């Protein structure tokens, strides 16, 4: 009977030792996972900040290009209107009218 109690106590000790070892392993794994997650969180936070800055820069560039495009179109339109107006006004002069007529005849051949 004492032998069976000793075997039972030995088995309980082995199970207790195994459980402690498993608990220590789980704690180590938990710490490793926590450290890994913290590193990834830092990396992803840094990347998110970089992307936010890049997005802000791209929005500013888009606004600048929109302004430049609008300015270019309006300038071209204004230049065309001014040029057409000057051409029409200059056609009222006899010398310019004759020159335009000759140029028209020369280029139409």
Quickly state the pLDDT bin for 76 (edges 50, 70, 90): very high
The tokens describing 12, both together, are 């309980």
Q: How far apart are CA 33 and CA 36, in angstroms?
A: 5
- Is the pLDDT at 104 greater than 90? The verdict is no
> What is the model's pLDDT at position 102?
87
6-28, pLDDT tens digit by residue? 888 888 899 989 999 999 999 99
Q: How far apart are CA 80 and CA 74, in angstroms?
A: 10
- Is the pLDDT at 1 greater than 80? The verdict is no
- Is the pLDDT at 29 greater than 90? The verdict is yes
Q: Are 68 and 60 in contact (CB under 8 A)?
A: no
Q: How far apart are CA 14 and CA 54, in angstroms?
A: 59
The tokens describing 5, both together, are 């109690």
34-67, pLDDT tens digit by residue? 999 999 999 999 999 999 999 999 999 888 888 8
Other CB atoms closer than 10 Å to residue 99's CB: what's the count? 13
């Amino acid at each position: 009977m004492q032998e069976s109690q000793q075997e039972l106590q030995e088995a309980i000790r082995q199970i207790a030792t195994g459980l402690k070892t498993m608990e220590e392993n789980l704690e180590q794994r938990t710490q490793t996972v926590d450290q890994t997650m913290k590193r990834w969180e830092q990396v992803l936070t840094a990347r998110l900040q970089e992307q936010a800055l890049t997005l802000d820069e791209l929005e500013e560039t888009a606004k600048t290009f929109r302004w430049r495009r609008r300015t270019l179109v309006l300038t071209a339109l204004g230049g065309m209107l001014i040029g057409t107006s000057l051409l029409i006004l200059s056609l009222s002069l006899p010398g310019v009218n004759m020159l335009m007529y000759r140029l028209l005849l020369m280029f139409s051949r």
